[in-house]
Amino acid sequence: MKSMNTANKSTRFFPSHTHHTTTFCTRSHQIAALAIVVTTFFLTRLFDQSLGTCSSSYQNTFPDVNRQYEGVVRFGDSGGWPKRGYGTQLNLKIYVYDENEIEGLKLLLYGREGKISPEACIKGQWGTQVKIHRLLLQSRFRTRKKEEADLFFVPTYVKCVRMMGGLNDKEINQTYVKVLGQMRYFRLSGGRDHIFVFPSGAGAHLFKAWATYLNRSIILTPEGDRTDKRGTSAFNTWKDVIIPGNVDDGMTANGARLVDPLPLSKRKYLANFLGRAQGKVGRLQLIELAKQFPDKLESPELKFSGPDKLGRVGYFKHLQNAKFCLAPRGESSWTLRFYESFFVECVPVILSDQVELPFQNVVDYTHVSIKWPSTQIGPELLDYLESIPDKDIEDMIAQGRKIRCLWIYAPESESCSAFTGIMWELQKKVRQFHQSTETFWLHNGSIVNRNLVEFSKWKPPMPLP
């Protein structure tokens, strides 16, 4: 029986040549085979070229993006975010901490005695901290079950609270530590799946001890560099996400806006700089340059308080009156003026060497802006800008018009928005597995702490790093 099985296997895998008729290859066969190979080669080349054309002419689901300028935004073949590293669709579950579930969280939202209102905090360049929170609360990506969450959002309006006197730096630091010590899931991952918004130039430095407690967490910030005063940057390109600044709603809303763009022919100036000097070299150079060339560069002395305070409409009327809007660094590397320029339709000129820009995986900024060395601020800058034909300026403005939807914090029902972009970026941060130096696991999958206490039995406050 054993030999028979062996024989059967031999017959199955190595059939005897005696069972097959030998076919000899004639010259006609060779010519026919060569013809098939040649035909296949050319058909394959033709198919590849056709497919390449289809791929480059993607259908973009973002309404403001026109195929004529497809080089400026590189979305995926189906019109969404690039598939590589992101997946083909958004599939996120984010838990948003409730203000009442953690002692101290209300202080970081409303300050002492709850005197700081969200409506006051949503205005101005730091309003992203409120807008992202509100959009998440209404989002389809929100889950109310911690155990199924991919990420955890910690809502705070701490920049606004600090600026309005709701908490001082010491109180902010102490409150953050107290809040974090009550979060079991923060302890579980070492903070790796927790999201914090720091909407100002100070970035995470608003929390003095960020480097100890948040150095593994996901930080949403417009600020990519803060080494000028602190000696170290709180932004990490591996885990953090650059977000757009908060442009005045009166400029981003559909329909009537505070100010409408002017035709190039009616703009009085070649370029403008609207901002305070703040003792920064680049800004001081621009102010002096405006004095030398008042017909080309406008840099008015702005009043931000008192009877001559510049209002919202007045500010944007100044901004709209030039072909180029200059955006130098101020207290930090980012500036809101870069985003505002897209809505008055002037070409932004970045004069901040360390700046980081949002959504760089889909936006080619060379099509919509200029970045000029901050060490070359002088007449040569104006000469260069003056040499650019109006047609090229119009083209850059037209392309910028198509991507500015990415700067608007609109509901996720809008296919193109800052919120949707942030969700795509966050999806890339999701990990299947989390660990920390104080997390351990057993053979049955149980998660325990250093004292072998199961995760479900951890009691706050939990020790932090």
Q: Tell how strand 269-272 and strand 322-328 pair up.
A: parallel
Which pLDDT value is given to residue 57?
A: 33
Q: Are residues 270 and 362 in the same domain?
A: yes
In this prediction, residues 25-31 reach a mean pLDDT of 58
User: Does residue 98 lie in a domain region?
Assistant: yes
**Is residue 105 domain-shared with residue 205, that is, in the same domain?**
yes
Residue 131 CB partners (closer than 8 Å, separation 6+): 122, 246, 409, 419
Q: What is the DSSP string of 193-221?
A: TEEEE--STTGGGGSTTHHHHSTTSEEEE
Judge if 259 and 242 occupy the same domain.
no
Say whether both 392 and 322 belong to one domain. Answer: yes
**Res 29: pLDDT:** 59
149 three-class SS: coil
The amino acid present at 116, given as its one-letter code, is I
Please say if the pLDDT value at position 182 is more than 80. yes
Encode pLDDT of 69-114 as tens digits: 456 777 776 667 888 777 788 999 999 999 999 999 999 999 999 9
For residue 344, give both structure tokens. Answer: 């008055």
Statement to judge: residues 279 and 386 lie in one domain: yes
Most confident of 47-51, 233-237, 251-255, 322-326: 322-326
At residue 404, the pLDDT reads 95
Residues 347 and 228 in one domain: no
Are residues 207 and 303 both part of a single domain?
A: no
> Are the C-beta atoms of 202 and 223 separated by less than 8 Å?
yes
In a domain, 13, yes or no: no
- Which residue, chain included where needed, has tokens 């709180």? 234
Whether the predicted pLDDT of 357 surpasses 60: yes
CA distance 359 to 243: 8
Question: Any idea which of 2-16, 126-140, 279-293, 358-372 has the lowest mean pLDDT?
Answer: 2-16
Lowest mean pLDDT among 24-28, 176-180, 239-243: 24-28
Per-residue pLDDT at 453 exceeds 90: yes
Asked if 321 contacts 269 with a C-beta cutoff of 8 angstroms, the reply is yes
Predicted pLDDT of residue 226 = 65
Is residue 15 included in any domain, yes or no?
A: no
Closest CA to 350 of 224, 220, 203, 232: 224
Residues 385 and 450 in one domain: no
Whether 242 and 336 map to the same domain: the answer is no
Residue of 311 and 219 predicted with greater confidence: 219
Phi/psi for 270 (5° steps) reads -70, -45
Instruction: Tell whether omega for the bond before 461 is within 30 degrees of 0, i.e. cis.
Output: yes
Its domain, for residue 214, covers 94-246+430-457
- Dihedral over Cα of 11, 17, 20, 25: its sign: positive
Q: What is the pLDDT of residue 77?
A: 65
Over range 331-337, report the average pLDDT.
88
Q: Which amino acid is at 226?
A: R
148 within a domain of the structure (yes/no): yes
Distance of CA 253 to the CA centre of its chain: 21
pLDDT of residue 210: 93
In a domain, 448, yes or no: yes
Which pLDDT value is given to residue 84?
75
Q: What is the pLDDT of residue 389?
A: 98
Token pair 């991952």: residue: 189
224 and 281 part of one domain: no
Say if 23 falls within a structural domain. Answer: no
Same domain, yes or no, for 323 and 388?
A: yes
pLDDT digits (tens, 9 = 90+) for 112-136: 999 999 999 998 888 999 999 999 9
Q: What is the CATH number of the domain that holds 327?
A: 3.40.50.2000
Q: Tell if the pTM clears 0.85, that is, is over it.
A: no
Residue 177 identity (one-letter amino acid): V
Q: Which two tokens stand for residue 426?
A: 């966050």
- Tell me whether residue 384 is in a domain: yes
Residue closest to 416 by CA, chosen among 12, 46, 66: 66
Which tens digits make up the pLDDT trace of 241-284?
999 999 999 999 887 789 999 999 999 999 999 988 888 899 99
Residue 434 lies in a domain: yes
Question: Whose structure tokens read 């009550």?
Answer: 182
Per DSSP, 22 falls in state: -
Whether residue 288 is found in the same domain as residue 367:
yes
Is the pLDDT at 401 greater than 80? The verdict is yes
Mean pLDDT of the chain: 85
DSSP 8-state symbol, 73: B
Amino acid type, 265: S
Return d(Cα 85, Cα 94) in angstroms, integer.
19
- Count of the separate structural domains present in the chain: 2
